[in-house]
Amino acid sequence: MLSSLANETKCKEEEKKVSTKLNHDFLVLIVKMGFLTILKKMKQKEKEMRILLLGLDNAGKTTILKRFNGEPIDQISPTLGFNIKTLHYNDFVLNMWDVGGQKSLRSYWRNYFECTDGLIWVVDSTDRMRMESCREELTVLLQEERLAGATLLVLANKQDLPGALTANDIKQLLHLDKIETHHWSIQNVSAVTGGKLVEAIDWLVEDISKRIFTLD
């Protein structure tokens, strides 16, 4: 009899623990959903986008950012950490994060994934020897949960140099046609001349705006 009562009491305690945990988990979920809703509404109000520039070292990320911002590009050093620029582009505010691409820094990329709306992957079109490494790094990025749904813009940079691979060449080498989890586009550009850069950013901004600045 006592054993039966003890077992019944123990079962009730376990049920209470499970119920408490479920309530807690549900509350956490509601809070997260509420936060994301608030964040989305704030973004809609300000028309703000967070864009992450990544790529292997020497791809031209910083040069692209400076060129797009109208800054001089004659003196550029390798990015050892990150650069942040807030740009007003048409009716939008672009918070652009340029993160160093050296192999020793790539493990830190994940620190910048949160709330990313668009990913710009910059490729040195003349660096044929590292296309496989470029593909591998991009593949890993696209599997990141915090980058899920982010618009992907691949920039085939350095088109002003002789021997540069075309966007179509790079599309095949990076297996871009296999991407099903992200809206993507690849564009031929030159950070030095500025060629096709505005058109590429136009596509990125338009795609992001269609996705996140929608009426509830």
Q: In whole numbers, what is the pLDDT of the chain averaged over residues? A: 84
pLDDT for residue 14: 52
Among all residues, which ones are annotated catalytic?
102
Per-residue confidence (pLDDT) for residue 38, from 0 to 100: 46
Alpha helix ranges (H) inside the chain? 2-46, 61-68, 131-141, 167-173, 197-212
Which residue did the predictor score with more confidence, 93 or 4? 93
Both tokens of 13, joined, read 């305690």
- Output DSSP code: residue 98: E
Residue range 139-144: mean pLDDT, rounded: 96
Looking at the predicted structure, is the pLDDT value of residue 114 above 60?
yes
Is 91 among the annotated ligand-binding positions? no
- Ligand-binding site membership of 157 (annotated): yes
**Range 70-92 burial, b when 16+ CB lie within 10 A, else e:** eeeeeeeeebeebeebebebeeb
Give the residue carrying structure tokens 């790539």.
106
Q: Is 60 annotated as a binding residue?
A: yes
- Average pLDDT in the 23-29 region? 48
Please indicate if the annotation marks 159 as binding a ligand. Answer: yes
- Residue 187 — pLDDT band, cuts 50, 70, 90? very high
Which pLDDT does position 46 carry in this prediction? 67
What pLDDT does 195 receive? 87
Chain segment 28-68, per-residue pLDDT in tens: 444 444 545 545 544 555 689 999 999 999 999 999 999 98
**What is the per-residue pLDDT for 82?**
83
Residue 68 or 130, more confident: 130
Question: Predicted confidence band at 136 (pLDDT cuts at 50, 70, 90)?
Answer: very high
The answer on whether 126 is annotated among ligand-binding residues is no
The answer to whether residue 4 scores a pLDDT higher than 50 is no
Known binder of ligand: residue 57? yes
Is 190 exposed, middle or buried, given 0-12, 13-18 or 19+ CB atoms closer than 10 A? buried
pTM of the full structure = 0.78
For residues 99-114, give the mean pLDDT: 90
Give residue 6's pLDDT.
Answer: 47
CA torsion 52→213→176→134, rounded to 10°? 0
pLDDT, average across residues 1-20:
48
17 marked as part of a ligand binding site: no
> Measured between alpha carbons, how far is 204 from 152 in angstroms, rounded to an integer?
8
Average pLDDT (101-126) is 94
Higher pLDDT, 7 or 168: 168
